[in-house]
Amino acid sequence: MFLRLSSATLLTVSAVLAQVPLQPFASVAVPPDPNEPVTGIAQALSSQADRSNALALMNRARLRVQLHAARTPSFQISATFTSSYGVGSMTETWMNGQKWRWSGTVGNNSAVRIPADGLHYGLPQGGAIPPALHLLRNAIFWAAAGVPDSGGSLRSSAVIWNGKPATCLLFGPRGEQIDGGRSWDEEEYCIDDASGVLQVHSFVPGTYVDYTYNTTPFHGRSAPSGITIFIGNKKMMDAQVTIADAGTPDESLFVPTEQMRSYGPVGTAMMANRWSWEYPSASVSDLAKPVIVRASVDGEGSVVAAEVSIASDAALAETALDLVKGFPPNGNTREIYVQIKFVAQQ
């Protein structure tokens, strides 16, 4: 399910949901999804040794693909893709943390970012980043987000993925004891047992990023060669990725144009984050029925595109999309996953 929303219809959900009581509600189980690696019961990791081993596995996988790091050799990474938003491409040339440039195009929309004087400049005016570019950029540079909160719940599941053994780690919030299969609140990373590289990342149920890799590492790093993204049980994107040494690019690439400077500084593309709301519904009498919506949000807080990641009840999907209309502005392009728990009316 896909919906584009006009800024003219902007409505902040905080006002709509102001009267909803802030109390926990037990939810129905996460519906099955053919892209979900964990189909059985995940094992809670309660001992310090088990948790330490799991976090070490996670850190090794992250370091294998960490490109935005102080010791990373200069590189140029390029991607071409087909997506529900259109056909596009993206390129980043990275010399170091103060000298880089990335740009991308999808359909008739494009974006550029260049750092200068401790700020970021770019195009278009206002700094909007097309949703497809933001989605792909976050998938490529996922390691920059670090490891999820290690103080929350942590579970593990041994799976077979693409014919090979893999270990899936499920990171949940603090203060929750989670049993059974994957929960609504868990973020998932599935790591190949033999190679130690990430195979699947699922920030929320219903959204899955699948990775394939070059056989030849790039200076010891395993940069992805292919990325496929599924959202709402539909293929959202197929991307082919290449990486090579940056060489000696023209210095003008890293200098903001006068036009960019006239627009003023712009925000960067933020990594994905999660929100949770509760909303009363006459269709709910017992357990809460969650729907997770992925929203592409511009710097002014307007939702420029949204799609349902997963719905416990398909009849509630359109209502969930209607609720996700706007957020407080912060100047950055954001990828926000909103879990709306439809609960019984009080």
- The pLDDT of residue 214: 82
Q: Which of 1, 12, 22 is nearest to 315 (CA)?
A: 1
> Order of strands across the sheet with 289-297?
2-3, 303-311, 289-297, 334-344, 273-281
Give dist(CA 142, CA 271) in Å, integer.
Answer: 8
Question: 118 is written with which tokens?
Answer: 């401790």
pLDDT for 132-146, tens place per residue? 999 999 999 999 988
Query: How many residues can be counted in the chain?
Result: 346
Percent above pLDDT 90 for the chain: 82
Task: Tell me how far apart the terminal alpha carbons of the chain are, to the nearest angstrom.
Answer: 30
Stated pTM of the model: 0.91
Q: Of the ranges 10-24, 218-232, 321-335, which one carries the lowest mean pLDDT score?
A: 10-24
| Strand 119-123 with 109-116, pairing | antiparallel
Q: Is 241 helix (H, G, I), strand (E, B) or coil?
A: strand
Q: What confidence tier does 2 reach under pLDDT thresholds 50, 70, 90? A: very low
What domains sit in the chain, N to C, each tagged with a CATH number?
2-30+270-344 (3.30.2420), 33-266 (2.50.20)
Cβ neighbour number for residue 228 with a 10 Å cutoff:
18
Top pLDDT among 70 and 129 is at: 129
pLDDT of 333 = 93
Report the candidate in 342, 274, 275, 336 with the shortest Cα–Cα distance to residue 314. 342
- For 53-86, the pLDDT digits (tens) are 999 999 999 999 999 988 889 999 999 999 999 9
